[in-house]
Structure 1
């Protein structure tokens, strides 16, 4: 009797998608934005499969749609594609702008990690070697300035909270339904999304870029 080995990691699941849907998923060249709701289409096609689960597909989609190549594809292509490689809906300008922002932030983080940092010890050592009243005074002034700066930073979230009040409203519990359009909080940003699955306290949404995200109901807001 033939036995089927369960796929173990995201790379294997991505390889499965490349092989199963070659007109839709590309490793490098020819990447195009995925049709909105592509997860449901995949789930229907792999129903009953013993190799891959829906959870694994969702994780693989998250990785696929967060890559630089995919974000560039959202920016540079007019249409999305379905599982068979056919043109689906047009890529909306809002989706392009979101992809541009995500790409810029990802590249900035990468550049920051690669940039060597100067050790702070050198600056402190120079001040200690001066040994005069001016250097002590400078430290006192710096401390005073930093103190004011910290006070401003600490006050900033409250100011942001006041500014944001009234602009967005939490999504009512009775509106946490599949296919509803919402805003989801990711870090400090609110991103447009569509609810794809509700599982008790967990809610799965699809972002405008096609990325699948798992979140909580309290992170959802009225669109």
Structure 2
């Protein structure tokens, strides 16, 4: 009796996409921005497959589109591609800006993580003498001992942001989704009870809730 080798690891699912759609998915060289709505196209192509599920494909797409190489491709490419590698819609400036921001944030987090993992040198702390309210470097004539750290100014929001009505939580509707403190344009790809799956402008797949969606 033949047994089905169900893929479990996310990297195995990515490998499946590389082999199944070689003109679209690339491991390193030749990466191009994916067509908006590529998840739906993949789902139709693998319908009935016993190796991967739609949930696994969504997770693999999330990993693929959050990779530095992919984000760089979004900022440098003029057009997106479909599953067969054919030219699709043009990459909009908004998508380029979002990818550039995501790339910068990702690199900043990586640099911060590396810095925190670096062994501390005692000489780094000896050159500073603690004074009330702050650390002052010896010899700094402009430093004021009693200066307290400045408080960050509150973020001001411009324009009115309206929540997306429940009646508009439908597949293919364009929305804004709240990610942290940012609102990002996206398209609803699936509605599963309380969970809503959206595709960001970069191609990343995200699962969220209806109360995190706003009118575009």
TM-score, normalization: structure 2? 0.86
Q: Find 2:157's aligned residue among 155, 164, 167.
A: 164
Post-superposition offset of 1:37: 0.3
Residues 43 and 122 (structure 1), Cα distance of their counterparts in 2 relative to 1, 3 Å cut:
same
Residue of structure 1 equivalent to 2:212 = 219
Residue of structure 2 equivalent to 1:99 = 99
Residues 48 and 122 (structure 1), Cα distance of their counterparts in 2 relative to 1, 3 Å cut:
same
CA deviation vs aligned residue, 1:70-113 (integer Å, no higher than 9, x gap):
01111111111111111111111111111111111111111111
Where do residues 26-175 of structure 1 align in structure 2 (5 Å cutoff)? 26-115=26-115, 116=118, 122=125, 126-127=129-130, 135=131, 145-146=148-149, 149=150, 152-153=151-152, 156=153, 159-160=154-155, 163-164=156-157, 166-175=159-168
Residue of structure 2 equivalent to 1:132 = none
Residues 137 and 190 (structure 1), Cα distance of their counterparts in 2 relative to 1, 3 Å cut:
closer
Q: Find 1:178's aligned residue among 171, 181, 187.
A: 171
CA deviation vs aligned residue, 1:13-66 (integer Å, no higher than 9, x gap):
000000000010000110001001000000001111111000000000000000
Does residue 19 (structure 1) correspond to residue 22 (structure 2)? The answer is: no
Residues 204 and 138 (structure 1), Cα distance of their counterparts in 2 relative to 1, 3 Å cut:
closer
- The 2-side partners of 1:71 and 1:51 are apart by 28
Structure 1 unaligned runs (5+)?
Answer: 128-134
Residue of structure 1 equivalent to 2:141 = none
Post-superposition offset of 1:168: 1.0
- The 2-side partners of 1:48 and 1:56 are apart by 14
Residue of structure 1 equivalent to 2:138 = none
Residues 87 and 144 (structure 1), Cα distance of their counterparts in 2 relative to 1, 3 Å cut:
same
Structure 2 unaligned runs (5+)?
Answer: 136-143
Residues 143 and 52 (structure 1), Cα distance of their counterparts in 2 relative to 1, 3 Å cut:
farther
Q: Secondary structure at the match of 1:51?
A: coil
Post-superposition offset of 1:122: 3.6
Aligned residues: CA RMSD = 2.4
Does residue 189 (structure 1) correspond to residue 187 (structure 2)? The answer is: no
- The 2-side partners of 1:191 and 1:81 are apart by 22
- The 2-side partners of 1:206 and 1:117 are apart by 40
Residue of structure 1 equivalent to 2:139 = none
TM-score, normalization: structure 1? 0.84
Choose between structure 1 and 2: higher helix proportion. Answer: 1
Post-superposition offset of 1:2: 2.0
- The 2-side partners of 1:111 and 1:51 are apart by 37
Q: Find 1:201's aligned residue among 194, 198, 201.
A: 194
